[in-house]
Structure 1
Amino acid sequence: MARRAEMLQVGWRELVDLPELGLAGIPAKIDTGARTSSLHAHEVEDFQRDGERFVRFAVDWGGTRHFCEAIHVDVRGITSSNGDRQTRFVIKTPLRIGNLTFRAEISLADRSQMQFPMLIGRTALRRRMVVDSGYSWLQSPGNADMGPGRR
């Protein structure tokens, strides 16, 4: 287990990459109140390839629709921020924040009404990062122009 002084320090929002999905620079809210990370996805469908379960989905990013495929890990009941219980597909894929890359479980959800297309939950943060909620973009250099200052 990493000591706190050795953990990556992140702000309450960061730009993240999902390299195996071909997605980079995704604005993500860091949310210690949420257990599971989630990504805005639509046109979600599961299928089989060579006896293995996959999920195919679309992500609209940078004015372009990206079609992604990932190994389907699970289908779970997840309680959304408004208290509704939803059934969601869960994938496991590498997630990069700053210079740290690790495999994370991510639920696929309709986040069209949310400010951020991605949310990083506490399971992904655990023993890897500490959150300084007074700052933004600490691991996203050059992105202070993405909002009102770095706070």
Structure 2
Amino acid sequence: MKEKTVIGSTEFVDFGKRAQRVPAKIDTGADSSAVWASNIRIDKDGVLKFSLFGKGSPYYNGKIFKRTDYSVARVRSAMGHEQIRYRTHFWVKIGGRKIKMLMNLSDRSKNNFPVLIGRRSISGKFLVDVSKKNVPRKKPSVAIRLNEEVKRDPYKFYKKYHQKDGEK
């Protein structure tokens, strides 16, 4: 049996020549994987067309990808919202291994990571060490900023976040 590669909760992934060293979040709580895609559409011939990433991303190059080997999935977010998403296969290099991964195409422009890798993609191939993070954090977390704010003036913090309009 082949030994499993240990990866962290964040990793850099390569999409071949399309994009390299793209930050990805490894989420063992997520069933499927997703990549930020834009300009998603299907032409009259049934060909799925899209761009990887979006104009605000340093990984965006504007290239239009065409796929006939795609499917759709009903995806439910952690908040309970359902969406229909297109999905297709990509060859991705992660943890020194090149694997074929089925990924949902979604707008991840507001997420910290343009790629999310779920348990189906890594099952049987990798072990995840959650104490290991291979992508450095660019900005402080919301919790850190909130804790700094509450330390500066706890009463002002309380009024801002907990006191309803009209209460004194």
Q: Equivalent of 1:19, from 11, 16, 36?
A: 16
Q: What is the deviation of 1:147?
A: 2.7
Q: Equivalent of 1:36, from 32, 35, 41?
A: 32
Structure number with the higher strand fraction is: 1
Q: What is the deviation of 1:29?
A: 0.3
Separation in 1 of the partners of 2:123 and 2:59? 33
Cα RMSD between the aligned structures? Answer: 2.1
Q: What is the deviation of 1:54?
A: 3.6
Pair 1:131-2:89 in alignment: no
Pair 1:46-2:36 in alignment: no
Residue identity over aligned pairs, in percent, reads: 27
- 1:147 aligned partner, one-letter code: R
Q: What is the deviation of 1:93?
A: 1.4
Separation in 1 of the partners of 2:121 and 2:59? 28
Q: Which runs of 5+ in 1 are unaligned?
A: 138-142
**In structure 2, the residue corresponding to 1:93 is in which secondary structure?**
strand
Q: What is the deviation of 1:64?
A: 4.2
Q: Equivalent of 1:147, from 128, 137, 149?
A: 137
- Structure 2 match to 1:79: 76
| Deviations 1:22-67 (CA, angstroms, capped at 9, x unpaired) | 1111100000011110011111012377xxx542212233264432
Structure number with the higher helix fraction is: 2
- Structure 1 match to 2:48: 55
**8 Å contact from structure 1 (residues 14, 30) kept in 2:** yes
Asked which structure has the greater RCO (Cα within 8 Å, sep 6+), the reply is 1
Max Rg structure: 2
Q: Evaluate the alpha carbon distance shift between residue 119 and residue 70 of structure 1 in structure 2; reply closer, same or farther with a 3 A threshold.
A: farther
**In structure 2, the residue corresponding to 1:11 is in which secondary structure?**
strand
- 2:49 aligned partner, one-letter code: R
**In structure 2, the residue corresponding to 1:123 is in which secondary structure?**
helix
Separation in 2 of the partners of 1:30 and 1:79? 18
Return the TM-score normalized by structure 1.
Answer: 0.79
| Deviations 1:85-128 (CA, angstroms, capped at 9, x unpaired) | 11000011111103201111000011122111110000001000
**8 Å contact from structure 2 (residues 22, 59) kept in 1:** no
Return the TM-score normalized by structure 2.
Answer: 0.71
**In structure 2, the residue corresponding to 1:147 is in which secondary structure?**
coil
